[in-house]
Amino acid sequence: MKKLPIFAIVGHPNEGKSSIVATLSQNDSIAISAVPGETIRLQRFDLKAGHEVIIEFVDTPGFQNPQSTLAWFRENEGLGDERTKRFIETHEKDADYHHDCELLRPIVEGAGIIYVVDASRPMTSVDAAEMEILRLTSCPRMAIINPKGEDVRFMDSWKVAFRQHFNSVRTFNAQRAGYVDRIELLEALKSIDQDWEPALSRAIGLLRQDRKGSIERTAEAIIDHLEQALRCSCSSFLEKESGVEMEKHRLEEEYRGKLGRIEKRFRDQVRDIYSIRRVEIELPENSILREDLFSERSWQALGLTQKQLAIAGALLGGGLGAGADLAAGGITFGVFASIGAALGAGSALWKGKALARAKIKQLPLGGLKVTTGPNISDAFPFVQLDRDILYSKFAANWAHARRETSVELDAKGEEEGVSSRWTQAQLKVATRFVQAVRKGSAEATELAAAEFKTLLVEALGGVG
């Protein structure tokens, strides 16, 4: 049994080799460029499950001199790796064969080959030479069609050639492949060399386990975020009643800003869970997630149906009805008259830190405390939840090769909200959590969170 499965990615410049490595190894720091010749030397990237390296991918610049390399391979006989070894020994000091030697080296070390082509272009004699060299090395090898363009005219001729030269042929779009596509490709790699089967099966098992952990952490992050969003409020203190209307507007802005910041923190956390280190992952053009949290489109597309809202309303008791929600987004204002001694936590927000507690007593009596939030609408928690779930699914299936903003996601890339499909029993689980948070009971919140987590794990697509 070979220990660590190693695969070298080979192909013409600009065919998407580094993109395949980035998506398979879940590493978005790999250099990908529209200009051919980006990768100029061999680079090794590990795919890890937890801290354990389970597969190694070797990114290569591709062949430098395939025609004359093939000529040499044809002139020189040799069994197994022996001929490849001799080729490297003979050419390693020759600058004309630098890349060829480099990419053949992992094969001698026991690596398999993943040959990448963009099958939207016709096959050339250079491609034929490359495929023939790989066949003559007799290493385990798979061809991957990375369909960069829509053109399928040449697909059949590619497939015929592939069948003659490779143990397996797969289509894999490096910029769109999600978790399931990645697992399927790894499963297929098992078939190119039986010796790898045990190690790859173990690797896939560890990846699934790792995925399970990520989904559970995501569910926990959603629960934390929802709790913060439900508790979120802003207050200030006014000396005169005449300023209340203006202050309400200002506070509403402040409240929205605060919600936005805690949602951003949540999204940062989710990206971190899925090893997305690029600061902004680009949401598709028509994504509902690009909408403001309180926009009408968000509240129509996400959250509960009218029928469910009636159920949630009854379970929550005393919230706002659906009609009022759409108008105000459930943002409520409290205006409280206060006197110096009664100033609570809200007053500390007044003029920020300038207001020291010791000075509170010097405040004129009879001021007003203005508060925005917490949000009391029945619909709000579910709109926020759907946003979190959609974002999480998007991040969980992010292809680490994606760079350009122009990349469109498949229609299945974004679904409508999840909560509108929840049954009464599921709504009960969710509302129990919302209610516990609103009541401010830490114990009840913790208790409800456990069951809620199971529901969220399921909503995130299960852990399979």
Question: Which residues lie near ligand GTP (CB under 6 A)?
Answer: 11, 13-19, 32-34, 36-39, 61-62, 146, 148, 173-175, 403
Report d(CA 430, CA 433) in Å as an integer.
5
- Asked if residue 2 lies in contact with residue 112, where contact means CB atoms within 8 angstroms, the answer is no
* Residue 464 Cβ vs ligand GTP, minimum distance, rounded to whole Å: 26
**Choosing among Mg ion, ligand GTP, none, which partner's interface includes residue 14 (Cβ < 5 to 8 Å by kind)?**
ligand GTP
- Asked if residue 91 lies in contact with residue 41, where contact means CB atoms within 8 angstroms, the answer is no
- Measured from the CB atom, the residue of 12 and 141 that comes closer to Mg ion is 12
- Measured from the CB atom, the residue of 99 and 271 that comes closer to Mg ion is 99
* Residue 277 Cβ vs ligand GTP, minimum distance, rounded to whole Å: 17
**Choosing among Mg ion, ligand GTP, none, which partner's interface includes residue 34 (Cβ < 5 to 8 Å by kind)?**
ligand GTP
Bond before 374 cis per omega within 30 degrees = yes
Report d(CA 382, CA 320) in Å as an integer.
14
**Locus of tokens 């390693």:** 92
* Helix/strand/coil for 333: strand
* Residue 59 Cβ vs Mg ion, minimum distance, rounded to whole Å: 6
* Residue 125 Cβ vs ligand GTP, minimum distance, rounded to whole Å: 19
* Residue 43 Cβ vs Mg ion, minimum distance, rounded to whole Å: 9
- Asked if residue 194 lies in contact with residue 450, where contact means CB atoms within 8 angstroms, the answer is no
- Which helix (H) or strand (E) covers residue 392, if one does? helix 380-396
**Choosing among Mg ion, ligand GTP, none, which partner's interface includes residue 175 (Cβ < 5 to 8 Å by kind)?**
ligand GTP
- Asked if residue 142 lies in contact with residue 171, where contact means CB atoms within 8 angstroms, the answer is no
- Measured from the CB atom, the residue of 31 and 342 that comes closer to Mg ion is 31
- Asked if residue 23 lies in contact with residue 400, where contact means CB atoms within 8 angstroms, the answer is yes
Give, as ranges, the residues between 20 and 39 that touch Mg ion (CB under 5 A). Answer: 38-39
* Residue 126 Cβ vs ligand GTP, minimum distance, rounded to whole Å: 14
Q: How many chain residues interact with Mg ion (CB under 5 A)?
A: 4
- Asked if residue 83 lies in contact with residue 136, where contact means CB atoms within 8 angstroms, the answer is yes
**Choosing among ligand GTP, Mg ion, none, which partner's interface includes residue 347 (Cβ < 5 to 8 Å by kind)?**
none
Six-digit token string for 92:
């390693």
What is the chain's length?
A: 464
- Measured from the CB atom, the residue of 200 and 401 that comes closer to ligand GTP is 401
- Asked if residue 400 lies in contact with residue 422, where contact means CB atoms within 8 angstroms, the answer is no
CA distances (Å), 312 to each of 134, 315, 321, 419, in order?
62, 5, 10, 11
Burial class from Cβ neighbours inside 10 Å (0-12, 13-18, 19+) for residue 413 reads middle
The Cβ-side half-sphere exposure at 429, using a 13 Å CA radius, reads: 16
Report d(CA 260, CA 248) in Å as an integer.
18
Of 15, 16, 18, 186, which lies in the binding site for Mg ion, with binding defined by CB under 5 A?
A: 18
* Residue 60 Cβ vs Mg ion, minimum distance, rounded to whole Å: 8
- Measured from the CB atom, the residue of 184 and 253 that comes closer to ligand GTP is 184
* Residue 102 Cβ vs ligand GTP, minimum distance, rounded to whole Å: 13
* Helix/strand/coil for 11: strand
- Measured from the CB atom, the residue of 390 and 401 that comes closer to ligand GTP is 401
* Residue 10 Cβ vs Mg ion, minimum distance, rounded to whole Å: 11
**Choosing among Mg ion, ligand GTP, none, which partner's interface includes residue 440 (Cβ < 5 to 8 Å by kind)?**
none
173 contributes a contact to Mg ion by CB under 5 A: no
* Residue 136 Cβ vs ligand GTP, minimum distance, rounded to whole Å: 22
- Measured from the CB atom, the residue of 199 and 407 that comes closer to ligand GTP is 407
* Residue 108 Cβ vs Mg ion, minimum distance, rounded to whole Å: 22
- Measured from the CB atom, the residue of 17 and 438 that comes closer to Mg ion is 17
Report d(CA 165, CA 142) in Å as an integer.
9
Six-digit token string for 182:
């990645």
What order of strands is seen across the sheet that includes strand 368-372? 234-238, 368-372, 333-337
**Choosing among ligand GTP, Mg ion, none, which partner's interface includes residue 256 (Cβ < 5 to 8 Å by kind)?**
none
- Measured from the CB atom, the residue of 17 and 432 that comes closer to ligand GTP is 17
**Choosing among Mg ion, ligand GTP, none, which partner's interface includes residue 247 (Cβ < 5 to 8 Å by kind)?**
none
Give, as ranges, the residues between 36 and 95 that touch Mg ion (CB under 5 A). Answer: 38-39
Query: Using CB under 5 A, which of the segments 10-18, 107-115, 121-129, 386-394 binds Mg ion?
Result: 10-18
Q: Which residues contact 281 (CB under 8 A, 6 or more apart)?
A: 271, 394, 395, 398, 402
3-state helix, strand, coil in the chain (%, to 5): 55, 10, 35
- Measured from the CB atom, the residue of 265 and 278 that comes closer to ligand GTP is 278
Six-digit token string for 255:
């409240």
Query: Using CB under 5 A, which of the segments 17-25, 74-82, 356-364, 401-409 binds Mg ion?
Result: 17-25
- Measured from the CB atom, the residue of 17 and 105 that comes closer to Mg ion is 17
Relative to beta strand 43-49, strand 52-59 is antiparallel
Binding site for Mg ion (CB under 5 A): 17-18, 38-39
